[in-house]
Amino acid sequence: MIERAHVLICSGSNCISRGAKSLRDEFETHLTALGIREEIKLVNTGCVGLCEQGPFVIVYPEGVFYAQVKNKDIETICKEHLYKGRIVEKLVFDEALTQDKQVKSFEEIKFYSKQTRIALRNCGLINPDDIEEYIARDGYRGLGRTLLEMTQMEVIDEMISSGLRGRGGGGFPTGVKWRFAYNNENDQKYIICNADEGDPGAFMDRALLEGDPHSVLEGLMIGGYAIGANKGYIYVRIEYPTAIEKLHTAIAQAKEYGLLGENIFGSGFDFDIEIRLGAGAFVCGEETALIASIEGGRGMSRNKPPFPAAKGLWGKPTIINNVETLANIPAIMCNGADWFSRIGTEKSKGTKVFSLGGNIKNAGLVEVPMGTTLRTVIYEIGGGIPKNKSLKAVQTGGPSGGAIPESMLDLPIEYETLIAAGSMMGSGGMVVIDEDNCMVDICRFYLEFTVEESCGKCTPCREGTKKMLEMLNIISSGNGTLEDLDKLEHLAHMVKSSSLCGLGQAAPNPVLSMLDKFRDEFVAHVVDKKCPGGVCKPLIELQITEDCIGCTKCAKECPVDAISGSIKQLHSIDVSTCIKCGICKNICPVDAIISV
Amino acid sequence: MKDITLTINGRKVTVPEDYTVMKAAEGLGISVPRLCFLKGINETSSCRLCVVDIKGVKGLKNSCTLNVEEGMEIETDTDEIRDSVVQNLQLLASNHVFECWACEREHNCELLDLMRRYSVENIYGESRDFVKKNRWINDSSASIVLDSGKCILCGRCISACEMQSGLNILDFNERGNETYVGPALFHNMEDSGCIYCGKCIQACPVGAITEKSELDEVIAALRDPSKKVIVSAAPSIRVALGEEFGGKIGGNVEGKMYKSFEVLGFDEIMDTNFTADLTILEEGTEFIKRVTEGGKLPLFTSCSPGWINYIEQYEPQFLDHLSTAKSPQQMAGAVSKNYYAEKLGYKKEDVVFVSIMPCIAKKHEADRPEMEVDGVRDVDYVLTTREYARLLRRKGIDFMSLEDGHPHGKLVQYSGAAPIFGTTGGVMEAALRTVSEILEEKETPINFKEVRGLEGVKEATYNVAGIDVNVAVVHGGVSIKEFFKLLKTSEKQYHFVEFMACTGGCINGGGQPIHPAIVQDNIDIRAERARTLYEIDAACEKRKSHFNDDVMALYKEWLDKPGSHIAHKVLHTHYNKREFYKN
């Protein structure tokens, strides 16, 4: 029977954590009670992307986009929309409603209309547990073309001419990397999918693995064929249980359909995929540490050269590609290098997925063509900054990247331009920082992360990042001097130039870029002994402005009773008692408490 | 092999294509600083001190593993490099406990040397604004001490443990800034399966791993008028001790060594060479008995306490193959106290027996509960070669200008068979010299050269009195492991196997003088020291243990004959299966 409506329920980890797990059961119950269960198809999809507004339910054919859906809303959607055909306007995502209360379809919402989805082409649209849905959207066609119509070198040439570059951060041309491994003759080669996503706040790879695992498997197989590897590994962190489960299901289904295993498509090409779990060390995303981990050793980086393409896993030529890179490959092989290379800019082709976070309205997953400006991503797709605060900076590249100031927002997103701006593409973290943040504090945050995640092998990273963090602590406590800023910068340059692996070489980037672009803020800390962002506790004082309405909320919540004032009267803070915990500031209904 | 021409600091140099940039620079007399690199053992490029600038390449690259390439243009001493080296040294120094005067490596510390060369100011370590890591000292064993306060985390010990003992006892624990070196899972050394070969100590560039020192106890004994202190040094001490004082590697300083004992005020000097000969008579007789009367074969030697630690922990099912003869050290203590003390007019309870050994496992051996006779410990204190040199330095003795000493006691004489105990193959050769002569009842050859040399497992077959005797000589943990694999699968009937825990034998023991990595890379120290031992052997008038008159006199006066009841009581022992990681 053909269903008259399809209901997509976002089941990405973000929506699950916001309560989407039981939505399907609710639908089952209510649709059955209404007697229309058989008329409606329910599909649990991967991440839809607009995570801030989840959980989502999308109802086709209209494409109605319900946001922030709760269990209790399902009955209404079933009774009103699915039974009576009346869209439940109050549950529709507000940006999907026009001023005259017309409901725009999901694709017409600004968040999506500005995006170009290649890697995420199936995410949120198909059931990742059903290989047929993947196949229905051209899945495994690229593999078929590869295995049946092309030589290994032709595949590599196609990849080179597509201009695809590594999406894990480095931006090395994928086809060129493959050619190295292809040229290194050996009876055994390996291809590894690096799914050890570790940047704080980044979840592009998780969403892809959960929402469209077959695209990653297909990409891995195409790469395996090209370089001459018949064994692939997917190195995925154990903190991604849903992704692991989806991968297992996808591998089993691909085997069942003869798309994975021996003599695929009768081409004589055999391929096997094994999943290896990482314990969650950030450094294991670095390819040589990842290899050490798969081999059963400690996740510690190794010196390059030799590069993995020459001597990698168990000493054999090995290619390591990131999840997003692999997810692009089937689309390229299906639609051709020309199609792909028309998207993006001269040096950066295709699209890039970002996980947009921080002080932004529409936090979530976005995929934009290379060359899109940061301003478009933040203001048009991301919806701008909440509370109309002003933007101070955008951090790309996570703990390995840098902060780009407001003045550079019209920069097109490309590998080279971001590096020139003192940051980097990275794997796709994009953190929006508003005026209420302190750049010294943000530096400390990233440094704390790298100190924690350093493997401890080489001197500059193990000891240098720690000393940098200690210097930042001195600066943020108000005990620093101008000379300390120079010392910090001096040490940061050394750690960058002499560390063993990419983690250490990139660890000073936040410090260097923020010292470069936001030096005034650092100077304020050491000279004026002030924190302009109002964050560094030793340097701030909380004050109540004339805007106070005397609601007494702050006085009641203050843990140390530092606030006095009677009802409807201007309150005041006793600075000698105040511990600067900021509770009052957060609960003040009229933003009358400020840090100075 | 192809030659490569490259430019280093503006100077052209042509080297074979398998050279690293560091080695090519060395050839030009350019010294590139280094701390973690130990050729063939630790090539992890983790210290980042040997960085160089390659024209056209971004950032600095480590030269220790960087292969030379045609036309490469290298700079090794730019301002950026110098600055990078200084800053990395500052970082390493920040957590280092600088107690140089009290440190065993005061005279050859590789970190201190670089701190001097680069005139490094310890900006972090001397500032109260920066945090020092917690110091963690693992001194649970009788032999070895790990001190995280000195450790610079270069990983040389870990690699040496893996590549030379084959046991992987040490590894990095924790991560990042919290990293420290030790046995896995916070275990103490005594329960870690360590055999105390001490390869880690010799790999360490600083004083982060040392023997457990008994120097203060020895000094106290020397000061105590009620104690009679007898000293005895192992065969391999005399070919290494001079190195501690700038002498040539492998130089023979036997005479100065004897003299130094006198100068320090030891009450009596003996020589462990004497008991090496005694060991041959006991062990040789045991071998003959097993061959002729049908005992457990092959017979395994038992002189190397590191090897004893190995078999007790890793191959205990073979324990009955071991010779029950105590090691020369333990025999020396036992003979001194139970026989010789009385001759000297000492009460054996008053005797303090100090043994100078190339080995840290000897400390553990001396500490074993069974190593005593009638409640009197065989050996009281064991000093390594290094500790003994330190004792001399503490006493202000200018060792290299000492004249030769000539001790006249009755436990000093040795045959040429004794000094070669200090090298791999030596115990076997010494035993074969005596065993063959006893079995054939006629004069037999002196040299058994097939068992000499540094190959990990050496095998030979000698026809002795009509029997084809299959012998093997195995040294170093890795080779021991390999040999046991062979032994368990091979059909071959071995008769006699010599085992030593250290590669090269005692000459390369864990208690021997340490040389900086660059010296270890360029000179096979083992070969130099071994050569001198063979020279000493060749220079001996008598070269077979049973021709040692004083040893034979000892049998006549006291022990009766090898393997006698009294010999068993004093000179033999037993072994136990031991487990580790018990808790």
Q: What share of chain A is helix, strand, coil (3-state, %, to 5)?
A: 45, 15, 40
Question: Nearest-CA neighbor of A403 among A411, B123, A154, A24?
Answer: A411
Longest dimension (CA), chain B: 80
Name the residue facing B153 among A298, A451, A462 (closest C-beta). Answer: A462
Question: Distance from B79 to chain A by nearest Cα, in Å?
Answer: 12
CA distance A107 to A140: 25
Percentage, residues of chain B above pLDDT 90? 97
pLDDT at A169: 83
pLDDT at B470: 97
Q: Is B48 close to A498, i.e. CB distance below 8 A?
A: yes
Interface test with B, best of A448, A468, A490, A498 (most B CBs within 10 A): A498
On the question of pLDDT at B27 being above 90, the answer is yes
Which residues does chain A have within 8 Å of residue B91's beta carbon, measured at their own beta carbons? 459-460, 463-464, 467
Q: Is B84 close to A494, i.e. CB distance below 8 A?
A: yes
Tokens of A192: 């590894």
Element at A261 (helix H, strand E): strand A261-264
Q: Does A491 touch chain B (CB under 8 A)?
A: yes
pLDDT tens digits, residue range B108-129?
999 999 999 999 999 999 999 9
Name the residue facing A470 among B45, B130, B176 (closest C-beta). Answer: B130
Name the residue facing A452 among B94, B171, B176 (closest C-beta). Answer: B176
Relative to beta strand A64-66, strand A57-60 is antiparallel
Which residues does chain A have within 8 Å of residue B130's beta carbon, measured at their own beta carbons? 467, 470
Grade residue B242 by pLDDT with cuts at 50, 70 and 90. Answer: very high
Instruction: State the Rg of chain B over Cα.
Output: 25
Which residues does chain B have within 8 Å of residue A474's beta carbon, measured at their own beta carbons? 129
pLDDT tens digits, residue range A213-228?
999 999 999 999 999 9
Grade residue A295 by pLDDT with cuts at 50, 70 and 90. Answer: very high
Q: Say if residues A189 and A316 touch (Cβ distance below 8 Å).
A: yes
Name the residue facing B88 among A455, A459, A470 (closest C-beta). Answer: A459
Q: Is A451 close to B177, i.e. CB distance below 8 A?
A: yes
Tokens of A390: 């002003």
Tokens of B506: 């005692």
Collapsing DSSP states into helix, strand and coil, what is residue B347? Answer: coil
State the burial class of residue B558 (Cβ atoms within 10 Å of its Cβ: 0-12, 13-18, 19+): middle
pLDDT tens digits, residue range A228-286?
999 999 999 999 999 999 999 999 999 999 999 999 999 999 999 999 999 989 999 99
Q: Is A464 close to B91, i.e. CB distance below 8 A?
A: yes
CA distance A390 to A379: 12
Relative to beta strand A318-322, strand A269-278 is unpaired
Grade residue A101 by pLDDT with cuts at 50, 70 and 90. Answer: confident
Q: Does B173 touch chain A (CB under 8 A)?
A: no
Q: Does A272 touch chain B (CB under 8 A)?
A: no
Question: Nearest-CA neighbor of A21 among A214, A242, A238?
Answer: A242
Question: Distance from B185 to chain A by nearest Cα, in Å?
Answer: 14
Grade residue A83 by pLDDT with cuts at 50, 70 and 90. Answer: very high
Strand ranges for B9-138 from DSSP E: 11-16, 51-54, 61-62, 73-75, 137-138
On the question of pLDDT at B580 being above 80, the answer is yes
DSSP state of B506: G
CA distance A185 to A469: 45
Rounded to two decimals, the pTM is: 0.93
Grade residue B171 by pLDDT with cuts at 50, 70 and 90. Answer: very high
Q: What are phi and psi of B464, to 5 degrees?
A: -120, 120
Q: Say if residues A313 and A287 touch (Cβ distance below 8 Å).
A: no
| Cα dihedral A248, A251, A253, A255 sign | negative
pLDDT at A208: 96
Relative to beta strand B228-233, strand B268-271 is parallel
Tokens of A312: 């990698």
Name the residue facing A456 among B48, B60, B172 (closest C-beta). Answer: B172
The mean pLDDT of B394-398, rounded to a whole number, is 96
CB atoms within 10 A of CB A218: 30
On the question of pLDDT at B250 being above 90, the answer is yes
CB atoms within 10 A of CB A543: 14
Tokens of A247: 């991968």
pLDDT tens digits, residue range A498-525?
999 999 999 999 999 999 999 999 999 9
Grade residue A107 by pLDDT with cuts at 50, 70 and 90. Answer: confident
Grade residue A596 by pLDDT with cuts at 50, 70 and 90. Answer: confident
The mean pLDDT of A493-500, rounded to a whole number, is 96
DSSP state of B464: E
Q: Say if residues A497 and B84 touch (Cβ distance below 8 Å).
A: yes
On the question of pLDDT at A106 being above 80, the answer is no
Annotated catalytic sites of B, by residue?
A: 283, 286, 303, 323, 362, 365, 370, 506
pLDDT at A110: 87
CA distance B208 to B137: 9
Q: Does B67 touch chain A (CB under 8 A)?
A: yes
CA distance B293 to B223: 51
Could you identify the residue written with the tokens 């269903």? A3
Instruction: Dump the DSSP string for A427-479.
Output: TSEEEEEETT--HHHHHHHHHHHHHHH--S-SHIIIIIHHHHHHHHHHHHTT-
Q: Is B80 close to A281, i.e. CB distance below 8 A?
A: no
Q: Tell me the C-alpha to C-alpha distance, in Å, between residue B171 and each of A460, B159, B168, B182, B454.
A: 20, 9, 7, 6, 27
State the burial class of residue A502 (Cβ atoms within 10 Å of its Cβ: 0-12, 13-18, 19+): buried
Beta-carbon contacts below 8 Å between A and B? 96
Could you identify the residue written with the tokens 């049946």? A148
Q: Does B62 touch chain A (CB under 8 A)?
A: yes
Q: Does A281 touch chain B (CB under 8 A)?
A: yes
Q: Quote the distance between the C-alpha of residue B277 and its chain's center.
A: 21
CA distance A209 to A128: 9
Name the residue facing B60 among A452, A467, A498 (closest C-beta). Answer: A498
CA distance A400 to A506: 5
Question: Nearest-CA neighbor of B221 among B276, B266, B288, B170?
Answer: B266
* Residues of A (296-355) whose Cβ lies below 8 Å from B: 298, 300, 302-303, 305
The mean pLDDT of A79-95, rounded to a whole number, is 92
Grade residue B286 by pLDDT with cuts at 50, 70 and 90. Answer: very high
pLDDT at A502: 92
Q: Does A455 touch chain B (CB under 8 A)?
A: yes
Average model confidence (pLDDT) across chain A: 94
CA distance B234 to B275: 9
Grade residue B317 by pLDDT with cuts at 50, 70 and 90. Answer: very high
Q: Say if residues B513 and B240 touch (Cβ distance below 8 Å).
A: yes
CA distance A344 to A332: 14
CB atoms within 10 A of CB B318: 18
* Residues of B (125-154) whose Cβ lies below 8 Å from A: 129-131, 152-153
Grade residue A201 by pLDDT with cuts at 50, 70 and 90. Answer: confident
CB atoms within 10 A of CB A109: 21
CA distance B470 to B457: 13
Q: Does B124 touch chain A (CB under 8 A)?
A: yes
CA distance A171 to A117: 19
CA distance A321 to A326: 7
Q: Does A481 touch chain B (CB under 8 A)?
A: no
DSSP state of B165: I
pLDDT at B187: 85
Grade residue A104 by pLDDT with cuts at 50, 70 and 90. Answer: confident
Our CA angle for A278, A280, A281, nearest 5°, is: 105
Which residues does chain A have within 8 Å of residue B62's beta carbon, measured at their own beta carbons? 303, 500
A269 forms beta bridges with: A264
The mean pLDDT of A336-350, rounded to a whole number, is 96
Which string of b and e fits B254-291 if b means at least 16 CB within 10 Å? bebbbbbbeebebbbbbbbbbbbbbbbbbbbbbbbebb
Element at A514 (helix H, strand E): helix A509-517
The mean pLDDT of A316-328, rounded to a whole number, is 97
pLDDT at B514: 97
Contacts of A364 (CB under 8 A, 6+ apart): A14, A49, A50, A51, A52, A53, A111, A355, A356
